[in-house]
């Protein structure tokens, strides 16, 4: 029994070397399809320690695995290490790297990477324009987006819909008016809670209004029955004042959050549009 | 590969599965992969890997071990329903052919699920063929005087009389404090209304009372559940100790 165990361990220790590089990569792909990224990365790291050559290929597959696992900073770091432009997956590496950089808001690096590389096929040339346009839209650089998007041909089924979608988002952004924090503050000063309703947070605004009314009425009651020096008036008056001022500041802050949420939602939509063609073109 | 490199071994067992061998070899590989994750104490992953095995092949020794390992890892991952499902199947397929070896786990799982009446019957079966320190009466004597709380009842009691639900759950002091605070708020509300401070009475007195009244009832339900967990551990621990002592001595 012991000898069988030792033989088995010996056999397994040579497994990684016994497998050809392509066999290992096919196995990595199987692991990735099954979303078994931990095992995939483990195997790729083992391959690195036993394979002196083909490091570019390994870096690409590590980057791709991180990309599939949505660890996009790590993905970009490994795609950056791929240097050999003659590799069959060089183009894929460039586009996935650029997309990873866009996700982590490294827009300039993504654009530089795309601009530095030229592609032979018209499909990839158009895809490059599409991704570059998307990057400028993420940055809200409308002038450059408008300029690049004139190249959108909508001839490629892989991203014709997404080209239309980016142009539609551009139109939405053109028509969108950001809400004013100053206006929200003024609204809340006049009628507590309305600044938050203006920000689109109706429930929060109504809640604030009701609470203000509760404190306000008790302050008025204390003043009416006991006068301005009464403990009841001072306590409820203080609570009302703190809440009133806090609500004005809160309304201004709510506008900032609402604007950020809007921008995040738009950026998410853009990134989805930029992502779909990559999966279609390179799978 | 170093001895004890379970992570690496797991990858290589997965490679065997990937190479699409006959189903019985796939099952063997998944079993070994599951054992690797068990050794790495990732019981949830071990159970997940083992559950990929085809258990509709012959109910042979491999099948038996896989089912046992799924049950064990599910139990260790505190996924008791999954553990019980496998143990029930083990009882059906291997009643006269190995079930006695997993009976202890069946008892532990039923205990964890607070299905003590069924667990008691299994424990009786176990005691019939094993020498255990704890008799059935000693192990399950608590069933006659169980202090397990009905969490819904605790909530209802606090709705009926503030603080009583917490007391029923076994937290007398908290119940007393909750009841006192609610009495103060409703008293303040009533006094304010009586004195003509209608807004203060209605909004602060009654408002705070209402907040503590509804929150207190929900808290009573939570406390009852918390107490039940403590009692479950208290009831189950001696049985667990006795069973494991016996199993480890085999």
The predicted-structure confidence for B88-116, as pLDDT tens digits, reads as follows 999 999 998 899 999 999 999 999 999 99
pLDDT mean over A182-193: 93
CATH number, domain containing residue A6: 1.25.40
pLDDT mean over A219-230: 90
Does residue B204 contact residue A218 with C-beta atoms inside 8 Å? yes
Q: For residue A65, give its domain range.
A: 1-90
* Domain presence at residue B170: yes
* Domain presence at residue A46: yes
Domain count, chain B: 2
Interface-testing mutation among A5, A221, A233, with chain B (most B C-beta atoms within 10 A): A221
* Domain presence at residue B157: yes
* Domain presence at residue B55: yes
> How many angstroms separate the CA atoms of B232 and B151, rounded?
14
Kindly state whether B207 is in contact with chain A, defined as any CB-CB distance less than 8 angstroms.
yes
Kindly state whether B202 is in contact with chain A, defined as any CB-CB distance less than 8 angstroms.
no
Q: Examine the predicted complex and report whether its ipTM is higher than 0.90.
A: no
A42 and B11: CB-CB below 8 Å?
yes
* Domain presence at residue A229: yes
Model confidence at A10, in pLDDT bands (50, 70, 90)? very low
Domain count, chain A: 2
**pLDDT at residue A12 above 70?**
no
Summarize pLDDT for A98-130 with one digit per residue, the tens. Answer: 999 999 999 999 999 999 998 889 999 999 999
* Domain presence at residue B122: yes
Same domain for B171 and B127: no
How open is the CA angle A157-A158-A163, to the nearest 5 degrees? 85
Q: How far is A209 from chain B (nearest CA, A)?
A: 14
> How many angstroms separate the CA atoms of A255 and A201, rounded?
9
Summarize pLDDT for B148-188 with one digit per residue, the tens. Answer: 899 999 999 999 999 999 999 999 999 999 999 999 999 99
Same domain for B161 and B122: no
A221 and B198: CB-CB below 8 Å?
yes
**pLDDT at residue A5 above 80?**
no
- What mean pLDDT is reported for chain A? 89
Same domain for B76 and B46: yes
Same domain for B180 and B135: no
* Domain presence at residue B1: no
Q: For residue B197, give its domain range.
A: 151-233
pLDDT score, position A26: 93
Same domain for B175 and B137: no
* Domain presence at residue B244: no
Provide the token pair at A133: 């346009």
Among A46-50, A197-201, A235-239, B53-57, where is mean pLDDT lowest? A46-50
Instruction: Return the top range by mean pLDDT from A96-100, A175-179, A244-248.
Output: A96-100
Same domain for B164 and B181: yes
Same domain for B132 and B16: yes
Long-range pairs of B170-178 with CB within 8 A, sequence gap ≥ 24 = B170/B223, B170/B227, B171/B223, B171/B227, B174/B219, B174/B223, B175/B220, B178/B212, B178/B216, B178/B219
Radius of gyration over every alpha carbon of chain B, rounded to an integer in angstroms: 26
B200 and A232: CB-CB below 8 Å?
yes
**pLDDT at residue B52 above 50?**
yes
pLDDT score, position A271: 97
* Domain presence at residue B250: no
Summarize pLDDT for B191-237 with one digit per residue, the tens. Answer: 988 988 888 888 888 888 999 999 999 999 999 999 999 999 999 99
B12 and A30: CB-CB below 8 Å?
no
At which of A90, A114, A144 does a domain end?
Answer: A90
Of chain B, the end-to-end C-alpha distance in Å amounts to 33
* Domain presence at residue A102: no
B15 and A46: CB-CB below 8 Å?
no
**B1, B196, B203 member nearest A218 (Cβ):** B203
CATH number, domain containing residue B70: 1.25.40.10
At which of B142, B173, B208 does a domain end?
Answer: B142
Looking at beta carbons, which residues of chain B come within 8 Å of A232?
197, 200
């Amino acid at each position: 029994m012991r000898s069988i165990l030792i033989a088995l361990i010996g056999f397994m220790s040579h497994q990684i070397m016994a497998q050809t590089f392509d066999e290992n990569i096919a196995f990595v792909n199987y692991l990735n399809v099954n979303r078994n990224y931990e095992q995939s990365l483990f195997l790729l790291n083992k391959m690195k320690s036993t394979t002196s050559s083909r490091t570019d290929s390994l870096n690409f597959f590590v980057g791709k695995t991180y990309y599939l696992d949505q660890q996009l900073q790590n993905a970009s770091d490994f795609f950056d290490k791929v240097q050999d432009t003659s590799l069959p997956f060089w183009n894929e590496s460039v586009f996935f790297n650029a997309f990873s950089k866009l996700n982590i808001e490294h827009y300039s690096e993504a654009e530089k990477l795309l601009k530095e590389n030229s592609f032979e096929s018209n499909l990839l040339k158009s895809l490059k324009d599409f991704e570059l346009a998307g990057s400028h839209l993420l940055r809200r650089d409308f002038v450059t987006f408008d300029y690049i998007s004139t190249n959108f041909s909508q001839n490629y089924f892989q991203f014709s819909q997404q080209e239309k979608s980016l142009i539609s988002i551009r139109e939405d952004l053109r028509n969108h008016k950001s809400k004013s924090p100053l206006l929200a503050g003024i609204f809340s000063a006049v009628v507590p809670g309305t600044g938050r309703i203006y920000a689109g947070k109706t429930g929060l605004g109504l809640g604030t209004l009701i609470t203000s009314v509760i404190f306000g009425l008790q302050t008025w009651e204390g003043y009416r029955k006991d006068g301005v020096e009464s403990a009841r008036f001072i306590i409820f008056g203080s609570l009302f004042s703190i809440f009133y001022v806090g609500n004005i500041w809160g309304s201004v802050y709510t506008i900032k959050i609402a604007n950020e949420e809007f921008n995040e939602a738009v950026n998410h939509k853009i990134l989805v549009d930029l992502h779909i063609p990559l999966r279609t073109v390179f799978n | 590969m170093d001895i004890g490199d379970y992570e690496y071994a797991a990858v290589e067992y997965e490679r065997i599965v990937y190479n699409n061998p006959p189903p019985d070899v796939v099952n063997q590989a998944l079993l070994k992969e599951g054992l690797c994750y068990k050794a790495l104490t990732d019981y949830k992953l071990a159970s997940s890997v083992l559950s990929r095995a085809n258990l509709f092949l012959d109910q042979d020794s491999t099948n038996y071990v896989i089912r046992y390992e799924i049950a064990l890892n599910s139990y260790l991952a505190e996924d008791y329903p999954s553990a019980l499902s496998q143990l029930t199947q083990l009882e059906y397929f291997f009643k006269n052919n190995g079930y006695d070896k997993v009976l202890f786990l069946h008892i532990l799982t039923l205990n964890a699920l607070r299905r003590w009446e069924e667990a008691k019957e299994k424990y009786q079966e176990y005691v019939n063929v094993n020498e255990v320190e704890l008799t059935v009466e000693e192990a399950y004597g608590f069933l006659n005087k169980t202090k397990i709380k009905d969490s819904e009842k605790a909530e209802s009691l606090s709705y009926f009389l503030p603080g009583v639900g917490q007391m029923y759950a076994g937290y007398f002091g908290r119940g007393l404090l909750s009841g006192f605070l609610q009495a103060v708020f409703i008293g303040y509300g009533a006094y304010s209304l009586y004195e003509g401070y209608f807004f203060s009475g209605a909004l602060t007195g009654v408002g705070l009372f209402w907040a503590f009244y509804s929150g207190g009832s929900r808290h009573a339900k939570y406390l009852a559940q918390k107490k039940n967990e403590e009692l479950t551990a208290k009831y189950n621990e001696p049985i667990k100790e006795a069973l494991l002592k016996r199993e480890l001595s085999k």
